[in-house]
Amino acid sequence: MASSPNSLSPVDAADEWLACPQCDQLYRRVPLASGKKAVCVRCGAVLYRCRKRGVEFALALCVSGLILFGVANFAPLLALEKGGLIQETTLWSGIGVFLVRGEWLLALLVLVTLILFPLLRLAGLTYVLYPFFRGRATAAGAARVFRLIHAASPWSMLEIFLLGALVAVVKLGDMATVMPGIAAYAFVGLILVSAWAEYVIEPRDIWRRIDNHG
Ligand SMILES: [Zn+2]
């Protein structure tokens, strides 16, 4: 019974057995060659992958994300032109406008969902992945940081912001000429890079590394 999927020993649950995410068929994990994936024989869902240079690639995406994040925060986001007058806005000046108007809840929402959580996610992943890339011991508190990243993920709402900004641009188009700034492009890049990092990172692989190098 020691290796039965019903005896919930944490080691067995994490390392030996896994359930298909689509149809719940149970499998025993086997090591894969680099670049290969394990597929469910019943429904064809991908069970897990062994990515080539997974950590290096994920780390490169996170660092690119941090650079794009800096640009998205401090470069001009939009420029409004009307009657020869041009007014530029950055994300932070937008938050300032909300505060001046007393809309502090809106300011807090923008601060948390567009700045704090996306930054926490990228910086946290970089912190966890970097020691694996350099072949060093796991970063202090890596398990806690990785758990926190997972918990904070639903609160990172870059895509929703972009959609809202697009609607606003279309509506403002009647009143003034709206020109997207460098930060707007950086936001698009940031969304793509974040989604790509999400795809590349195998949480199970990260947990295994944290366990082994801890
Ligand atoms: Zn399946």
pLDDT tens digits, residue range 131-165?
988 888 888 889 999 999 988 888 778 888 888 88
Phi-psi region of 29 (alpha: psi -120 to 50; beta: other; left: phi over 0): beta
* Co-location of 154 and 168 in the same domain: yes
The confidence score (pLDDT) of residue 84 equals: 85
188 burial (CB, 10 Å; 0-12 / 13-18 / 19+) is middle
Looking at the structure, tell me whether residues 75 and 150 fall in a common domain: yes
Whether 12 shows a pLDDT value over 50: the answer reads no
Task: Tell whether 40 and 144 lie within a shared domain.
Answer: no
Query: 114 and 80 in one domain?
Result: yes
Please tell me the distance from the alpha carbon of residue 27 to that of residue 47, in angstroms, as a whole number. 9
What is the Å distance from ligand 1's center to 3 Cα? 21
The pLDDT-based confidence of 125 (bands split at 50, 70, 90) is very high
Ramachandran angles phi, psi of 41, nearest 5°: -75, -20
pLDDT reported for residue 130: 92
For ligand 1, the distance from its centroid to the CA atom of residue 28, given in whole angstroms, is: 13
Range of the domain at 15: 10-49
Q: Tell me, in angstroms, the distance from the centre of ligand 1 to residue 18's CA.
A: 11
Distance 159 CA to ligand 1 centre (A): 30
Do 89 and 192 reside in the same domain of the chain?
A: yes
Residue range 86-118, pLDDT digits in tens: 888 898 998 999 999 999 999 999 899 889 999
Q: How far does residue 15's CA lie from ligand 1's centre (Å)?
A: 19
Please count the structural domains in the chain: 2
166-209: pLDDT as tens digits:
888 888 878 888 888 999 999 999 999 998 998 888 888 888 88
